A and B are shown apart, each in its own frame.
Chain A
Amino acid sequence: MAGIQATSAGMGKDRRTALRQRREMEARPWRGPVRRYDILKEGTIAVAVVAVLVVLFAVLFSSPDVRPVTLQAWASAQPKGFTEIALSELNGTSDSATYGPPYNSGNGEVQDLWGISIQKALGITDPINSAEDFVLQPLSTVSGQPQLTAALGRYNDASATQRSAWLAAYGKALAKAQVVSGRLTVPRAADGPVPVMLSTFLGMARSGGLDAALVQHSPFYVTNYTNPLLFIGDSWKAQHGKSYWGQIVEAQHMSGSQWGVMNETGSWPGQPWLWLYTMWYQVNPMANSGNGDVEVVAIMSFLTILLALVPFIPGLRDIPRKIPVHRLIWKDYYRSNRPGGSPGADVTT
């Protein structure tokens, strides 16, 4: 028995030595048959072939270009829904208002992995006060409306308790509001200056003025669309498929539950290479987890590192040897080198 074990150990050692020897040899310059090869010609032909394909596809299929959603279009199509979101920004219940880092100190969208939250650790890097930034500041840019100026003054001077009472009263009235011929009619309530503020805000949005006001981070040039996108996005978070944006998103099959990140508008292919990333969002526990995003990012990071480190992972690196797809790739080489075969075929001298 001991002899058999010793023999097995010896064979294992021989095998390991042979594998190490092979690894060394596979690093050496090739000493076998070679053939002519023009690397520049190959590259030129490849560029020409792909260029033809690209031009052909561009002519045949073009590319998608769905116009961006504007606050003006949203406010015109859904004045009540728009006003509900504006109210949620003021009373601090919107997704943006409660988000957490990197926007504010909320906790609504803070995620962690095993109790560790990188999101929280890195803190607020893009501070946002949704009431001030999305509603009050744009309203303050409106001039020539004494009624609005008085309403804003009254609102700003009021205590937090008084503001909350006004906003709560307006919220109850808004639930009973009617839209007649595109005009939003909100029943009277003990809501102080809020009706003037939000009706002006709605008018500002419908005129297109809010689209410009929300992106004015600098006196003239604009490149940062964080505020308008978060504001529009709050409608998706609160009203989902019923929101103006949500209707377009779901019609284009781009919501998260529709594997949206890999899809494209119309019938174009999107980013099919994201299939694995998107898939994790569809399966439990990620599908119903409050930490779904960080869990999926962690899984994909782990799998990416695993892929990069395949050369060093026993078992994984042995798969190509065990499932011999390589026999197809190098069939000519193996055929010409089999015992009794013609070893010298396909060579140049």
Chain B
Amino acid sequence: MLASVINLNSSAYYFHWGVVYISLANFLAIVVMLVIFVAALVLPFVHTRNKLKAQAGAQPVAKAYEPQTPPPAGDPTLWTARLRQVWLRRLPPEKMLPDSQPAYVASWIYVFGVLTLAGFVLTVVTGLVLALEGPAWWHTSSVGHFFNSMHLWSVECFMGFMAIHLWGKFWMAAWRGRRALTWISGVLAFVISVFEAFTGYLSQTNFDSQWIAFEAKDAMNASGIGAFFNTLDFGQAFMLHIALVPVFLVGIIALHIVMVRLRGVVPPIDANPEHLGEEPSVVAEATNPLRAAHELATQELAASGKEL
């Protein structure tokens, strides 16, 4: 009942061009990611289009993220009260759980951040079920194998969405405006995820684990990592996969999310200076370089026609 509909156990088809040697499955995975990325850029964001129709002509409002009233003061001699004061001032509930966001967040590329998180949640949930029954369960149980399959596809979705999210953020130059830590924590999350996936392959207790452990040991040993992490030691790889690396990964993802909420979503390149908090009288000055850049950007867009 839980057997696959499409049998992928057959011999794989491989493309071989010069030094490039890639399976059809991996090739398709990469092509699908690229197609999704391009589609996310060019397809109209339905929600926004509807809103545009509904509210054309409305006036812009300046709705800041920061709270309008300062957080209640506590006893300044108490560490707890001081921490709460700082926390609420820098990351008030309105920022952590917002009910509005800048109108420019209107592209399908923005959904890949939350899709990455969703992929991570499903990876953790399916991994917890596998952990509950032990590393060998899925070899002998059809239910276990199904959960292993869901774990695998959660990982593929998680990594795929994360890569698209990273591409999108690069082209937004999302590190602008003191958002470097947001970018760095995202890159770190990607790197730790790659290592987490690697330890997952080592924990499969099958041919994959054997071969990948043996092949990978040389790079580990040559770089000195082998002195601390023996890929051939299943116990170590398994504990890294289900305990140590996830702790780091959850930590870095949490930091990334907090930084996104703290700094906000990066504004468009050459955004209207008024939208960035510049006083209208200053923006109106003919020599204002920010205004010039913004007007150049919008004029170029107008000149490029309606293909956008």
Contact = CB atoms under 8 A, between A and B. Distances in A.
Contacts of A33: 60-61, 102-103, 275
B269 A326 contact: yes
A118 B219 CA distance: 12
A54 B115 CA distance: 12
A326 B57 contact: no
Contacts of B228: 125
A195 interface: no
Given A27-B177, A39-B98, A275 B269 contact: no
Interface in A221-236: 223-226, 229-230, 232-233, 236
A32 B60 contact: yes
Contacts of B51: 35, 345-346
Given A64-B208, A310-B175, A47 B121 contact: yes
B102 A25 contact: no
Contacts of B170: 310, 319-320
Interface in B138-181: 138-139, 145-146, 148-154, 156-157, 159, 161, 163, 168, 170-173, 175-180
Interface string B81-115: 00000000000000001111111111101010011
Given A25-B278, A31-B277, A32-B102, A42 B114 contact: yes
Select the residue from A36, A51, A267, A347 with max chain B CB neighbours within 10 A: A267
23 contacts: A23-B176, A28-B277, A31-B275, A34-B102, A35-B100, A60-B4, A61-B153, A63-B145, A68-B205, A267-B24, A269-B26, A271-B197, A275-B26, A307-B187, A320-B269, A325-B171, A330-B268, A332-B52, A334-B308, A341-B298, A343-B272, A345-B55, A346-B48
A60 B153 CA distance: 11
A46 B290 contact: no
B284 to A, nearest CB: 13
Interface stretch (A83-91, A138-146, A250-258): A250-258
Contacts of B271: 26, 32, 333
A308 B256 CA distance: 13
Contact of A329 (B109, B118, B277, B293): B109
Interface string A268-311: 11111111000100110001000101101110000010011111
A270 B198 CA distance: 11
Given A32-B103, A266-B8, A334-B268, 7 more contacts: A21-B289, A109-B218, A224-B232, A253-B14, A326-B172, A329-B109, A337-B272
Given A29-B277, A123-B227, A334-B297, A54 B157 contact: yes
B237 to A, nearest CB: 9
Contact of A272 (B5, B20, B26, B118): B26
Interface in A183-220: none
Given A35-B101, A50-B115, A236 B25 contact: no
Main secondary structure of the interface of B (DSSP, over half): helix
A332 B119 contact: no
B13 interface: yes
Interface in A103-135: 109, 111, 118-119, 121-123, 125-126
Contacts, number: 460
A301 to B, nearest CB: 8
B184 to A, nearest CB: 5
B206 interface: yes
Residue of A126, A253, A326 most packed against chain B (CB within 10 A): A326
A326 B211 contact: no
Contact of B223 (A119, A345, A346): A119
Interface of A: 14-15, 17-18, 21-40, 42-43, 46-47, 49-51, 53-55, 57-69, 101-102, 109, 111, 118-119, 121-123, 125-126, 223-226, 229-230, 232-233, 236, 245, 248-249, 251-254, 256-275, 279, 282-283, 287, 291, 293-294, 296-298, 304, 307-312, 317, 319-321, 323-339, 341-349
Contacts of A296: 219
Contacts of A347: 55, 58-61, 103
Contacts of A336: 52
B101 A338 contact: no
Contacts of A61: 4-6, 8, 149, 153
A65 B145 contact: yes
